[in-house]
Chain A
Amino acid sequence: MEALQALLAGFGVALQPINLLWGFVGVTLGTLVGVLPGVGPALTVAMLLPLTVKLDPTGALIMFAGIYYGAMFGGSTTTILLNTPGESASIATALEGNRMAKAGRAGPALATSAIGSFVAGTIATLLLTLLAPLVVDLALKFGPAEYFSLMVFAFITVSAVLGSSTVRGLASLFLGLCLGLIGIDSQTGQARFAFGVPELLDGVDVVVLAVGLFAVGEALYVAAYQSRLSAKLERMSGSILMSREDWKRSWPAWLRATAIGFPFGTIPAGGSEIPTFLSYATEKKLSRHPEQFGTGAIEGVAGPEAANNAAATGVLVPLLTLGIPTSATAAILLGAFQNYGLQPGPLLFQSQTELVWGLIASLYVGNVILLILNLPLIGIWVKVLTIPRDLLYAGILVFATLGAYSLHQSWVDLLTLYVFGLLGFAMRRWDIPVGPAVIGLILGPLAETQFRRALSISQGDASVFFTQPISATFLAITAALVVLPWVVRRVRR
């Protein structure tokens, strides 16, 4: 009941004309930038972060919620029409969506993706509303030891358990943790690894890392290996409306995908990649037209798109209630919170009730804006796709460098940006995931703080992590996740 009251008060915040305007601006910009080929949600959020420097926290975070959803939707438009999945979560959509577009059914594919995102996003936000207060109650019982163990769990799942190579995931994570060491130690004020460079005392900014890896790295990679290739843009022809049959085949897929996507988003399982593929596989299995899969089955678009959006909302549960980002995009959102001196977590629900619930309420509003904005404006988003690639990347880099430069007005940040760009190039070329590095950078310092706090309370006795039941449970699950796959492989042999 308390949550309901808080949510109503939240709507009071979100529906204020000025905040509604920020939500609107956020969704529009998020979609506009997210549509650009090669720009995924993480980069969209990172590039648009400088725009909010002068806003009050509530307005800025509401705008960010809009950007987050807009970027997700914009990405799927690109995938369907261009078949260049900007991020792993869109690969499943590309399988059927691009085939539908090739068959002249781009309209219904975009429609099922937009309406599916709305349905899944709204249901997932409802689940977030119900779940968040429960997690907050639980999290209030957490001490530093519990938080530290939970963070270890998150580190290991996002890096070692997922992806094509455990060791490359770990390398990325430790690189992020290493970058997180740079700057002033929050406990003692000791400068670490700053080499006397004043810009480094503040630490490495998550925006510079994300923009460097995603924008500069991507530009270097595409220039080096793909600039002489041409991508084929599918035409948006025919009706955008879905037929009765399309509806009949879409809605069960949306609901099933929401059920798959939301839980996966809430646990640290690397965001949307797994649930989108699971949803794709489920729809393929349950479809009455399995023969259409591979040639443009609408369930194959409806499911993964809805799963993607449900997972994107699910990711906000650990982010808001525990302060733990489980995807690169969430890590950047956490950076946005920190810019305002806010640390997401159970205490934020108590100290900044209005802001948190205003943000949650604006997720509902954002979903509605997304739906009413996107279906009529689809023609404009398609136009954006026709921007030639040379101008597109030139423009992206103007904004990318702007974001880095505006931090300290210093060329040092631009040099750092280029170094991260080289890193991003190498990571893309040799298949090293970038998500763990971004999460490690932002979560590493928080984990260190909790670790040292826990040891301070226990007077240096390291056994607290194993004797406190909740903490021990997290560590046991983490160990099981690492050891079990290895054991299973050994036994099978």
Chain B
Amino acid sequence: MKRRSAAEIALSLGVLALGAGVAAGTAMLPSEGGYAGIGPNFVPGVVAACLLFTGAWLAFEAFSGGWRNAPPDDARERGEHPFDFAAFGWVTVGLFAHMALIRLGGFVVAGTVLFACIARGFGSRRIARDVAIGVLLSLGVFLFFVKLLNVGLPAGWLGPLFGTAGL
């Protein structure tokens, strides 16, 4: 039962790296602590040590036969299909487009683009339908939050339009 997974090794090293990073950041924090005798750097130090410890433990498991009780690497054994790059990519693109558009284009524009991209990622080919539903949904949410809850959301490019419509 020799099994080595690059992903498990990478994740274990990631935990170790995080621990090292926290340790480095801790070193820059002041240590004076008043009556308690410990300062704001004490608990970060403990957390860093714990992360290094679990990272080492995970790495040990990864190198000695793989993580214990881990799900099978073959997607079919998990009853799933192999990793779908396009689908994963569309979801990612949608979220980053939303991030870029929300201030500039406004909540409704960003929300619609996000909606259409995610739907595309999940296999939809009906762009017109997705955009239409995206507009209706984000417009509904926008008006609900802005008019009823008084929570400010950016109007963006559609701002003048809302103005003339008296919304």
Q: What residues make up the interface of A, taking CB atoms closer than 8 Å to B?
A: 50-51, 53-54, 164-165, 167-168, 170-171, 174-175, 177-178, 181, 185, 187-188, 190, 192-193, 216, 219-220, 222-229, 388-391, 393-395, 397-399, 401-402, 405-406, 409, 411, 414-415, 417-418, 421, 426, 429-431, 448, 451-453, 455-457, 459-460
Contact = CB atoms under 8 A, between A and B. Distances in A.
A405 B51 CA distance: 30
B38 to A, nearest CB: 6
A448 B122 contact: no
Contact of A223 (B30, B87, B141): B87
Contact of B69 (A402, A414, A431): A431
B102 A398 contact: no
Given A393-B118, A394-B122, A460-B35, A185 B54 contact: no
Contact of B119 (A181, A394, A455): A394
Contacts, number: 210
Interface in B111-126: 111, 114-116, 118-124
A227 B122 CA distance: 6
Secondary structure at chain A's binding surface: helix, strand, loop or mixed? helix
Given A185-B40, A415-B99, A174 B119 contact: no
A151 to B, nearest CB: 12
A390 B67 contact: no
B50 interface: yes
A430 B8 contact: yes
A140 to B, nearest CB: 23
Most chain A C-beta atoms within 10 Å of own C-beta, residue among B71, B94, B99, B130 = B99
A399 B145 CA distance: 12
13 contacts: A53-B149, A164-B69, A171-B58, A174-B15, A174-B47, A175-B15, A175-B18, A185-B40, A228-B81, A397-B114, A430-B70, A460-B33, A460-B37
Q: In which size bucket is the chain B interface?
A: 35 or more
B1 interface: no
A415 B98 CA distance: 10
Interface of B: 7-8, 11, 15, 18, 22, 25, 29-30, 33-40, 42-44, 47, 50-51, 54-55, 57-58, 61, 67-71, 75, 78-84, 87-88, 90-92, 94-96, 98-100, 102-103, 107, 111, 114-116, 118-124, 130, 133-134, 137-138, 141, 145, 149-154
Contact of A429 (B51, B58, B71, B99): B71
B44 to A, nearest CB: 5
B111 A398 contact: yes
A223 B115 CA distance: 14
7 smallest CB-CB distances across A and B, nearest first, come from: A460-B37, A390-B122, A455-B36, A394-B118, A223-B87, A225-B80, A390-B124
A398 B133 CA distance: 12
Contacts of B81: 225-226, 228-229
A406 B107 CA distance: 11
Contact of B70 (A177, A415, A421, A431): A431
